[in-house]
Amino acid sequence: MKILYIGDIMAEMGIQSVEKILPDIITREQVDMVVAQAENVSAGKGMNLVDYERLKRAGVQAFTGGNHTIKDAELFPLLLDTAAPVVGPANMTDCPGPGYKLVSSIKGTVLVISLLGSIVGKQSDIAMQNPLQKVDELFAAIPRESYLTAVVNFHGDYSSEKVIIGHYLDGRAGVVVGDHWHVPTADTQILPKGTAHMTDVGMCGSLDSSLGVTFESVIPRWRDGYQTRNQLATTGRNQFNALLIEIDEQSGRAVRTGHIREVW
C-alpha cells in the first residue's frame, strides 16, 4: 500500500499546486491513499466546503488539522461526522469531533489521527490535552483489527516534540509526520520498529514568500518592531511538498519512504 501525505496547503496558491501536481503523482507512484494537512487551505485559516470539494476532486482522500482548523465553522459538521474524512486535533479541547477517522481505500482502512503540539505560534494558551496521553487513549480505544495502518500527524512548533512523538509511536503507527512550519526537514527515515517519520514535510504554496506570506508584509514588523497584517502571496513560483510511504500490507509497517518536492 502506498500513502502520500501532503504538507500544509497554504491558501489559493497551495490549492493550485495540489490541483496541478497531485494527479500526476497518484498515477506515477500508484498511490492508494492521499492525506493532506488542511488547516491553512482557505485564505490561510481553516478550510471551507468549496475548497474541500476542490481538493477532493484533485485526489485528496483525507484531511488533517491544526490550530486554525476551528476558524471556519463550515467544517464543523464534517469534523463531527464519523464517515467524513476530515480530522481535527484530537487533543485540542475546542475542536469538534473525535480527532481521528477510519478512512477506506482500495488496499484497506487507514486510521488517521491529528494532534497538536504543546505550543503553536502565538496561541500558546490553546486549551489542550497532553498529546502523548491523548494518542495513548486513542490507540487503546480503537480496535487494532479495524485498520491496516495508522497515519499520525503532529502539528506543532518544536522540532524536538515532532521527533519525540515519532519514536514514542514507533511500531504502533505506520506513519508519523510533522507539519506547521512549512519548511521541509532533511530527516526522512524509517524508525527501528517500522514507522516512517519526517519532522516537517513542508508546504504547498508560494515559494517566493515567507511561508506563504509576502515579504513586504512581514519585513517591516521584524525590522521596525510594529504590528503589520499578513498578506498572502498570490504570484511567483509555487511548490509542492509531500511524503510518500510504502506500507507492508501484512504488518502495517513502513518499508520505504521518501520526500517529494516539486517547484514550478
Q: How far is CA 146 from CA 18, 35, 63, 178, 254, in A?
A: 30, 19, 19, 24, 18
Percent helix, strand, coil in the chain, to 5, is 30, 30, 40
Residue 68 annotated in active site: yes
Cα–Cα dist 175/9, whole Å = 19
Cα dist from 105 to 44, 80, 225, 263, whole Å: 29, 21, 50, 29
170-206 per-residue burial string, b: 16 or more CB within 10 A, e: under 16: bebbbbbbbbbbbebbeebebbeebbbbbbbbbbbbb
Catalytic residues: 68
